[in-house]
Amino acid sequence: MSLALAPLDLNVEIEANLPCRKFDPDLWFSDSPTDLDVAKTLCGDCPLRVECLAGAVERAEPWGVWGGEIFERGAVVPRKRPRGRPRKEDLARDAALRVEAEARLAANGLATSRNAVRLAA
């Protein structure tokens, strides 16, 4: 008696090893800036990071971490701010992080101008 085996689906095997599948999904949609930074870090080694980011940009994802970037209201933001009025040094750091996020998007071929991808101010 022989058993017929279905062909191995490599996509299932790859998906099982993705950080967003191995860890708590709430981490990628947290309200905590620290949790979102952890999620961004976990996305760094993901083999589907670029495709995930491109899909999120195309769909204008309303929120969460996609492809190692934080989305808020359909725009890429350099970091999630805690509630309340930001400090002056936080505003300066946000400006520097915004430039860094634009560079990462451009490096992945996702944005060459501000019209291609909306970056939150």
Q: Which residues are annotated binding-site positions for [4Fe-4S] cluster?
A: 20, 43, 46, 52
In sequence order, which ranges of 17-79 are alpha helices (DSSP H)?
19-22, 33-43, 49-59
Q: Which residues are annotated binding-site positions?
A: 20, 43, 46, 52
Distance between CA 91 and CA 49 in Å, rounded? 28
- Degrees (nearest 5) of the Cα angle 17, 101, 103? 105
